[in-house]
């Protein structure tokens, strides 16, 4: 499971990203929606802790990452060090996504 600050303090923003338009995919291609949770510095940079993201049906974590980068270029500096958790399990970027999944983007956190 992943650790991070809870969503109780979230600003309540819920951005919807049209991945089909962002990836220039065919309008007839089926897609699915996932929830993306953002933590620490990534959440601070984007000003939200939760996003709804439309992805193509055969999407992987890497697909979602790339779509987020297209929509939010400000996350680029975080990408090399992010960990990804899918439904509270750490995964690699090659992991397929499923309808309704929750993908967490977890930057390194320091402290003592």
Structure confidence by residue, pLDDT tens digits, 6-52: 333 333 333 444 433 344 333 335 799 999 999 999 999 999 999 99
Q: Examine residue 3 and state whether it is found in any structural domain, yes or no.
A: no
Q: Examine residue 2 and state whether it is found in any structural domain, yes or no.
A: no
Q: Examine residue 111 and state whether it is found in any structural domain, yes or no.
A: no
Our count of domains for the chain comes to 1
* CA atoms of 111 and 109, how far apart (whole Å): 7
Residue range of the domain that includes 75: 15-106
Supply the pLDDT for residue 110. Answer: 74
pTM: 0.73
Q: Where are the alpha helices (DSSP H) in 1-112?
A: 19-23, 40-46, 61-71
* CA atoms of 72 and 112, how far apart (whole Å): 30
Q: Examine residue 79 and state whether it is found in any structural domain, yes or no.
A: yes
For the domain that residue 72 is a member of, what is the CATH number? 3.10.20.30
């Amino acid at each position: 499971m992943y650790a991070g600050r809870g969503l109780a303090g979230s600003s309540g923003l819920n951005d919807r990203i049209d991945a089909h338009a962002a990836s220039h995919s065919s309008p007839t291609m089926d897609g699915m929606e996932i929830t993306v949770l953002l933590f620490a510095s990534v959440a601070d940079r984007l000003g939200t802790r939760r996003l709804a993201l439309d992805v193509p049906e055969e999407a992987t974590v890497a697909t979602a990452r790339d779509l987020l980068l297209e929509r939010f270029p400000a996350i680029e500096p975080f990408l090399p060090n992010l960990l990804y958790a899918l439904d509270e399990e750490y995964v690699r970027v090659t992991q397929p996504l499923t309808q309704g999944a929750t993908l967490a983007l977890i930057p390194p956190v320091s402290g003592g």
